[in-house]
Structure 1
Amino acid sequence: MPAAPRIAPATLFTPQEWRPFQSRSAWVGPLLVLHCWAVIALAVTAGVVLPWLIPLCVMIVGTRQLGLAILMHEAAHGGLSRNARLNDFLGHWLCAVPIGASLKVYRPYHLRHHRFVQQPEDPDRMLSAPFPVTPASLRRKLIRDLTGKTFFKQRILLPLAQARSNRPEGGGAKGMIEAAHDYESIVTGRSVLPFLIVNLLLLAGFVAVGLWWAFFVLWLLPMATWFPMVTRLRNIAEHACVEGGTDYAFRAARTTRARWWERAFIAPYWVNFHAEHHLFMHVPCWKLPALHRAVHARPQGKAMEVAPGYLDVLRTVTTRPAP
């Protein structure tokens, strides 16, 4: 199968118009990583000082854990720093490892997704292929996320299956991992040891200040519940029920117009501008809103899939009638 269709910037822009989207900042990427951890720290502090805010803080921390995954994604495209070593250090140790991912593993996987988006060779195709589904099917998936079942499968069962697959008698485990590869394996469990080390260090920090319980309630609980759910919503919104991407570059993905509360609790760091990202994947994430406006000022931009919000996306992908 040939690679997915591409367009050149010159198709839409003059060299002068395109130049601002080419430049990368030396400081915005590191500041975004700092911002993400600062929001997590503030939410944890708020939950400790005002325990009645804990449910809200769990949602905020879980969304910023997704934010770390998004910034890892930015690093996979070399967008966190002009310096390649700093880009990879930030993307791996400060973004990927704390949530159980690996930039080294994720980068080739994700670039293959870009190369073959929505084609049989696309490793993410199985994330969008089942849609549309029934409302009951989606509801079951979200309940599994919020009750920790997805987390248990991702963090316990899949790493154990992978460990077995490395043994001569464990040949069937690889098939188990592949069969289990639905949305959550985008953030892979293959970085188990660094994940455990970093999280033990975090736990030690909480213990040192006499707040051991906050690690479990305000870091681990969001990772086990809200983070999987918003990761699922993100992946559904990006490609599910978008037709024509195998033939037309402007239909490779969906952009979702995110309101302030959706940016705060579902889609941080401009991840909702996914159609623009697939058109020009090396444009830094913080420039995607401007790119969105520029593309949609052209006639070709009218063909792109743009949803008014995440609730609208969920209505679109749950149109299959119940059997």
Structure 2
Amino acid sequence: MTPGKAYLSSQDIHLLAARSDVAGTLLVLHCWGIIAGAIGLFALWPNPFTAILAIMLIGSRQLGLAILMHEAAHNALFKTRMLNEFVGTWLCGWPIMADLKAYRHYHLAHHRHTQTDKDPDLVLSQNFPTSKASLKRKFTRDLTGQTGAKQLYSQIMTFVRLAGDDDAIEAAKGDAAQAFKSNTIYTAFPVFFGIALAISLIGQWWWGIMFWIVPYLTWFQFVLRVRNIAEHGATEMSQDPLRNVRTTHAGPIAKTFIAPYWVNYHLEHHMIMHVPCWRLPRMHALLIDKGLKRQMNVAPSYRAALVEAGWT
């Protein structure tokens, strides 16, 4: 049963779940537009500040591509399955070396078994709250590229180890470590590095490294961890959809650099997983109108969510 049916009427759900090809197209164009704009900003004013700003903006939009792939995995980005599959794969997933089909297989299990022993994402949340020192170590590894480099190496080695073994590749789709990684690396790699090459051809040879690979290895990994912590870190190990997940309020800066495309409305997403991301704020307001505000697990900011996870 969809958890939201216990709190919302069928008419409410029908209206909230309406998809739009126009909205889906605009979201994808916006995401890639921010990436192009960040590179253009540095091209116009090349200095260390605009370089760092571009890395942060591009890393946040690489998370944005992951979020839009997530939308496509729920068939919520576009009206038709064909568009969800094509755009979710070629324009959202493979550019960040993620596999839409593998991700869908993994992610739907997370929805079925949220915060239970069968939840494949439990490994990401079960160790919270933790210490501030532990969080600092994790964030340092992320921002210095250690996490990204390790995962990239692991992904390559996994592909080499499983090459030609279709059964083993299929089994790996259930591995929590495969959340935003592609098992079809022979397709994802050319797309990922092709984007880096295109950026270098537009500018100087090192631009592709600086403005695609470095953001992927650093800021993307950092915001991906922050998002994971905020969504389920230090939440209840229960089947209560109002308490086993967290929505986090985000201001303009957080929306720009940490939580694009309404990803912060995670409680609402778990309520009805096929509601398009751009309708989640409306769903949040509707749940509050129904008197559920005190029962909902909502953090006032990402800093507050991290404090709950151990950042004291």
Verify the 8 A CA contact 1:79 1:284 in the aligned structure 2.
Answer: yes
- Closer, same or farther: CA 108–301 of 1 in aligned 2, 3 Å: farther
Name the CA distance, whole Å, in 2 between partners of 1:282 and 1:271: 13
After superposing the two structures, state which structure 1 stretch, 67-76 or 206-215, moved more: 206-215
Q: Say whether 1:44 aligns with 2:44.
A: no
SS state at 2:298 partner: strand
- Matches of residues 22-37 of structure 1 in structure 2 within 5 Å? 22-37=17-32
Q: CA deviation at 1:298?
A: 1.6
Q: Deviation string for 1:15-37 (max 9, x for gaps)? A: 44444213111210121011100
Name the CA distance, whole Å, in 1 between partners of 2:154 and 2:252: 36
Name the CA distance, whole Å, in 2 between partners of 1:308 and 1:202: 37
Q: Say whether 1:315 aligns with 2:311.
A: no
- Closer, same or farther: CA 227–309 of 1 in aligned 2, 3 Å: same
Q: CA deviation at 1:186?
A: 2.1
Counterpart code for 1:241: A
Q: CA deviation at 1:297?
A: 1.6
RMSD between aligned residues: 2.3
2:294 aligned residue: 302
Verify the 8 A CA contact 2:55 2:214 in the aligned structure 1.
Answer: yes
2:7 aligns with one of 12, 22, 38: 12
Q: TM-score, normalised by structure 1?
A: 0.88
Counterpart code for 1:57: A
Q: Percent identity?
A: 41
Name the CA distance, whole Å, in 2 between partners of 1:298 and 1:111: 27
Q: TM-score, normalised by structure 2?
A: 0.91
Q: Deviation string for 1:230-262 (max 9, x for gaps)? A: 00000000001111532x222231000001100
Name the CA distance, whole Å, in 2 between partners of 1:319 and 1:42: 33
After superposing the two structures, state which structure 1 stretch, 201-210 or 261-270, moved more: 201-210
Extract unaligned runs of 5+ from structure 1. none
SS state at 1:299 partner: coil
1:148 aligned residue: 145
- Closer, same or farther: CA 280–74 of 1 in aligned 2, 3 Å: same
Verify the 8 A CA contact 2:233 2:309 in the aligned structure 1.
Answer: yes
- Closer, same or farther: CA 17–205 of 1 in aligned 2, 3 Å: closer
- Matches of residues 210-289 of structure 1 in structure 2 within 5 Å? 210-246=203-239, 248-289=240-281
Q: CA deviation at 1:211?
A: 2.4
Verify the 8 A CA contact 1:148 1:224 in the aligned structure 2.
Answer: yes
After superposing the two structures, state which structure 1 stretch, 266-275 or 145-154, moved more: 145-154
Counterpart code for 1:225: T
Extract unaligned runs of 5+ from structure 2. none
Name the CA distance, whole Å, in 2 between partners of 1:296 and 1:261: 24
Name the CA distance, whole Å, in 1 between partners of 2:271 and 2:290: 14
Name the CA distance, whole Å, in 2 between partners of 1:8 and 1:261: 30
After superposing the two structures, state which structure 1 stretch, 50-59 or 98-107, moved more: 50-59
Verify the 8 A CA contact 1:75 1:87 in the aligned structure 2.
Answer: yes
Q: CA deviation at 1:309?
A: 0.5
Verify the 8 A CA contact 1:48 1:214 in the aligned structure 2.
Answer: no
Name the CA distance, whole Å, in 2 between partners of 1:227 and 1:245: 30
Matched residue pairs, number?
305
1:124 aligned residue: 121
1:21 aligns with one of 16, 20, 40: 16
Q: Deviation string for 1:93-118 (max 9, x for gaps)? A: 10000001000100011001000111
